Structure 1
């Protein structure tokens, strides 16, 4: 957050100070008297001396400055930047979904009473913390007449709309009169997700972009290729060839046949294009990474001759086919990527081959530079060199990730390299902490007190323990920060939603620091829930609106006038539809083909799904199915009750008895999932559903797993009876 406008009143800022503004007597927007709105990130804002506030329900229209309606931001990484008009259209929808404000979209050349006017400021020199020009800055003016947002570019104006939505959400749909100018301190802000060792649906990735965008994060790095990090030197080549690897892009080019992951766990060009387009529509650039020459098992499984003899997860850079093969992969996929910058990985290679590694990175940089138009390139910080040694070309941006691979300040920044900070102080590795590894969630305390010199974390903090290893805040070589989440333990270690929950409560706080905001921890916690509830265009929580604890209740009371309708007795109106089944004595008879269809899909944390079931055969069938999971009476030849998510099956040591009733509750309680069963005349017993982690060749370990309740269809493929289905939004263990 940088205040650097000469065209508006100079703002009172709190940068570098330590105030605790959170008091019970003040509403969040009333902190503006201290020089900012308590949004996430914080927004510089000087409240009008006259006081007063604008009710958002009084705003009737969004007006796009017709002079700039087709203007796009030409200074960002994306090659598909939205126009000001396109951002305005998205904002119009967000006002309705986030705040319930119904407005019309119009075009004009000036603000009108009761409007939000979106325009471009061509006069103000917006600059970041290092004095670099920024196209992401904006000014915000709120008066009794309405709101004006003037961006350095359409993207800057878009970030201004995020401030308006958040300020209104925390201010009871009112925003104080005043003015502010806001510019991010750094141009690269966001996250990296390892989608190579765990597949994520396109819908999830797009929803994550909506989440990132709301907190002004502009980069979603997708780690597209990798493998489980087994010590291949201790295992046979046959063993290594069966280790899980992922290459998530699926090309029809016959020259790449056999490279991609299975069709249901990879993205076609059309699908990947759709992901990028939808993310760009919200100001987020998908930043692709194809990893080589290490972590390259997917490539060596495709072309075994390219592997190092002692470790088949690494490419033999001395083999004459290696560089042409890697470049052929990039030649195929570069046209897919709507960004001027790509990432070649280049992480954790064999230290016996440093010289050929350096040559490989430089050869790839020449290759990218020769594209039309030229591509910029990132690589992970690996093998820093002495001044008298051949080094990586300084046109390559280095992504730092750990102090045991490089010391960012002397190894790269002092030599003139540009860097993005992904220090492992903010690493997440799904479930790895079972053996004392990286944590499962971001550390909120470290975000707000992670500077070893005192104060909050910031992108210039490469070393969270030794302040002398960190450059000054305004160092021109520091481009920003990306927080990484890895899936070293593979696809069964976590569910899709667990990746989101690892970031849910803490990532917005880090977004404040990536932008350059100055929220305190107390302020952040005071507004988080309210702002989180306003995030538009996603439902990653899988929440369901309900008037009470009971979301849906199906008693299956048959009536000839129902005509297939199954009444919901919760009061929410989530009536279901009978598809071919019969009802008798308040029980539905399923024949393996008929089913019940509900208007819902999934319920996220927390929930209790209870029902009674009586199978008439031991044939495996689905009891409940949703977009995120499926509960079945068995799994293949196994008769064990199984809850599946993301293509992974999580079974319990229990089978439903055929021919008798069992009362069942599927319970999601925070990070855990349980199954409670009670047979006729028996005692109730509760079993925790767990995942079994493969500890990278070091045995197995059971661990918690959080799985959503499936609730889109009931009984599809099941043979037997079911009665009294109830879904609640609390966990009853």
Structure 2
């Protein structure tokens, strides 16, 4: 009787389990206990179901077959599974497992860097290099970059010795397959430091960790061993350089800062346009002729009427872009250039007005920017533009985009027919694949369902809006996906929407890379390759207030430290947000980076003017500052500019073409103070530079009305903007009076 009762109880207990479907099983798996030193992941079981490992967020530790690599320290890993039962499949949630390392004696605590080191085994004591630091490195580019960065951090002499010789810091290669292409090991002993990796990129990431340690410890390094590698392959930032000009010097600051936090994917939107064309149409004006648009690369393409594709204000030459790609590559950052078509393509439709979309569409007032997507001539045009950079350029003996493994084909917010869109998307993706590049595209197929197939194999997709593309649908279609969700990761500077930058604490505390809108994929899903945040400059053209790249640096840098931690580091951040920000301050800006143009020595700078022009050779000075000069303008011929101060960062113009005093920045934007210097009279000029506001005083009196000359304002009858102008000006201090017709009697700059 007793035995029968026990069997009945067992049957009752098993009945619910046997009755579960694939979804219920996936949500209630029990992971067998994992012993320290285990080399294979034990799989969960469920009656009547097949369970397969889907993936791990650290695939370097647990591979696709469940093989476990040795760990140096206790390490949490998220795993997920695919459950099949009764012909139906379900993907599980994340299950966190803790992989235990062998017990070790207590040594130095893990150094605090951003992003956090994954595994650390502390040693005893510290290593402190002497006044001259020796480096043994076989990679010339890596050595040159590291030497300059180390000298900037320590202020010491650095000497390169041959590989194999005794050195303070040695670089080596490792055959450890589990750390991947970006992983590295860092070994610090009382005798010196060794950084080892499978690739130069991994070695470079090791230098970022080492430099952050040195900056916090007065040039000493705690002994111990680190094993570190990223959680996600793509750790990205997208910058819209099309609708607001950005000088290359600023982009290089972006690259250095990205690499400081081990971010590795810089997506540059090369072409785009003002999108609110209805504001022109509603006032009886033609946006096709007037809306702002830019294609930022030098191009040979011209329309039948001679209209050039290249922007007229600021553009990057092909040589400059080749150099930028190489510059980024040597710092672990991949450049992803985007040509956005068939929507946002006003630069292309002005080139070929005959290719404006003619079919029915939403937002008809925005038709001017829509290419005729399914027209073979349109696909031919877009392919020709891509080929200018994807095929060998005779000037360089290589393609301009060589080194850009990924190129972006755009394809967002097309308001025409869904089949036309699908035909176009398939064609441009296949063209990129044919040229040997991995194409990336903005997800749009949930809004554009249809019969026309769109290639997915080998294609990456930005999941930017759940209305346009759902995450699970994208994965099911076979795309590798990147979380770029607009609600969480977009910034439109100075707009009333998309302001991720106002929620940095919430981002740090709550955001996870595998949550895309209202969908959550397993963090280790093999098709979730990373995430990226984005800065879109919607506030251009008649909405542009004059803000400078300088003004949004805080948005850029204060987002990178958070997202670098979230995408490289473990699922759970090691510090509170407040502690994290204290660490950001402690490690400081990336070496050789001064995006806000601060002077280390804040003392006033005074010169006695001599023969003009005169070389000042001072670094440019960002706000806050107070410039005082005494000058006398001898003559001001109509229509001829006269430059009072110049440097790569910009020019202070004593006389603009309209005769007024003003300035031009390195982003090409021009501002006028709306007043003229008197001719033949000695006057005292004062320029007071503040963030978003530059003021002019003449003989102690505030003069003129600040005017943004580069963009128009519809509220002022489409004339130059005079209200709400953001007029930040980085003071150029390389040359005094390079083209000034007059005398300069005194010159003083006071950083305030």
Alignment of 1:158 onto 2:193: no
Q: If the length of structure 1 is used for normalisation, what is the TM-score?
A: 0.78
Select the residue among 497, 508, 512 that pairs with 1:437: 497
Alignment of 1:635 onto 2:656: yes
Residues 519-575 of structure 1 deviation map (CA, whole Å, 9 limit, x = unaligned): 432232223234234x234432223332xx324112x2xxxxxxxxx6xxxxxxxxx
Q: For residue 647 of structure 1, what is the aligned residue in structure 2? A: 668
Q: CA deviation at 1:345?
A: 0.1
Q: CA deviation at 1:305?
A: 0.6
Alignment of 1:494 onto 2:569: no
Q: CA deviation at 1:692?
A: 7.8
CA RMSD of aligned residues (A): 3.2
Alignment of 1:626 onto 2:699: no
Residues 247-298 of structure 1 deviation map (CA, whole Å, 9 limit, x = unaligned): 1222346789644324763233222211111111111111111111001111
CA contact (8 A) 1:489 1:696 kept: no
CA contact (8 A) 1:250 1:263 kept: no
Alignment of 1:523 onto 2:579: yes
Distance in structure 2 (CA, Å) of the matches to 1:598 and 1:326: 47
Q: Helix, strand or coil for the counterpart of 1:363?
A: helix
CA contact (8 A) 2:597 2:620 kept: yes
* Cα 1:703/1:376, change in 2 over 3 Å: same
Q: CA deviation at 1:307?
A: 0.6
* Cα 1:181/1:388, change in 2 over 3 Å: same
Residues 59-118 of structure 1 deviation map (CA, whole Å, 9 limit, x = unaligned): 732223xxxx4xxxxxxxxxxxxxx44323321222112222433223335x84x52221
Q: For residue 130 of structure 2, what is the aligned residue in structure 1? A: 57
CA contact (8 A) 1:690 1:703 kept: yes
Select the residue among 689, 692, 695 that pairs with 1:675: 695
CA contact (8 A) 2:633 2:741 kept: yes
Distance in structure 1 (CA, Å) of the matches to 2:726 and 2:185: 47
* Cα 1:519/1:253, change in 2 over 3 Å: same
Distance in structure 2 (CA, Å) of the matches to 1:545 and 1:297: 44
CA contact (8 A) 2:694 2:728 kept: no
Q: For residue 444 of structure 2, what is the aligned residue in structure 1? A: 382
Q: CA deviation at 1:300?
A: 0.8
Residues 307-333 of structure 1 deviation map (CA, whole Å, 9 limit, x = unaligned): 124512010123331111111222222
Distance in structure 2 (CA, Å) of the matches to 1:708 and 1:38: 34
CA contact (8 A) 1:608 1:668 kept: yes
* Cα 1:636/1:183, change in 2 over 3 Å: same
Q: CA deviation at 1:139?
A: 1.3
Gaps of 5+ in 2: 1-56, 63-67, 79-105, 359-363, 391-398
Alignment of 1:298 onto 2:347: yes
Q: Helix, strand or coil for the counterpart of 1:715?
A: strand
Alignment of 1:723 onto 2:745: yes
Distance in structure 2 (CA, Å) of the matches to 1:54 and 1:150: 18
CA contact (8 A) 1:624 1:710 kept: yes
Q: CA deviation at 1:498?
A: 3.2
Residues 349-395 of structure 1 deviation map (CA, whole Å, 9 limit, x = unaligned): 01x41111112111222222223xx2221110113169985553322
Select the residue among 195, 218, 222 that pairs with 1:149: 195
Distance in structure 1 (CA, Å) of the matches to 2:214 and 2:704: 45
Distance in structure 2 (CA, Å) of the matches to 1:661 and 1:696: 35
* Cα 1:639/1:94, change in 2 over 3 Å: closer
Q: If the length of structure 2 is used for normalisation, what is the TM-score?
A: 0.76
* Cα 1:203/1:386, change in 2 over 3 Å: closer
Q: For residue 358 of structure 1, what is the aligned residue in structure 2? A: 422
* Cα 1:722/1:15, change in 2 over 3 Å: farther
* Cα 1:421/1:691, change in 2 over 3 Å: farther
Distance in structure 2 (CA, Å) of the matches to 1:9 and 1:423: 33
Q: Helix, strand or coil for the counterpart of 1:647?
A: coil
Q: Helix, strand or coil for the counterpart of 1:447?
A: helix
Alignment of 1:543 onto 2:563: no
Q: CA deviation at 1:497?
A: 2.7
Alignment of 1:596 onto 2:614: yes
CA contact (8 A) 1:47 1:176 kept: no
CA contact (8 A) 2:419 2:450 kept: no
Select the residue among 371, 382, 400 that pairs with 1:315: 371
Q: For residue 552 of structure 1, what is the aligned residue in structure 2? A: 605
CA contact (8 A) 1:666 1:709 kept: no
Q: Helix, strand or coil for the counterpart of 1:625?
A: strand
Distance in structure 1 (CA, Å) of the matches to 2:349 and 2:477: 35
- Matched pairs, number: 628
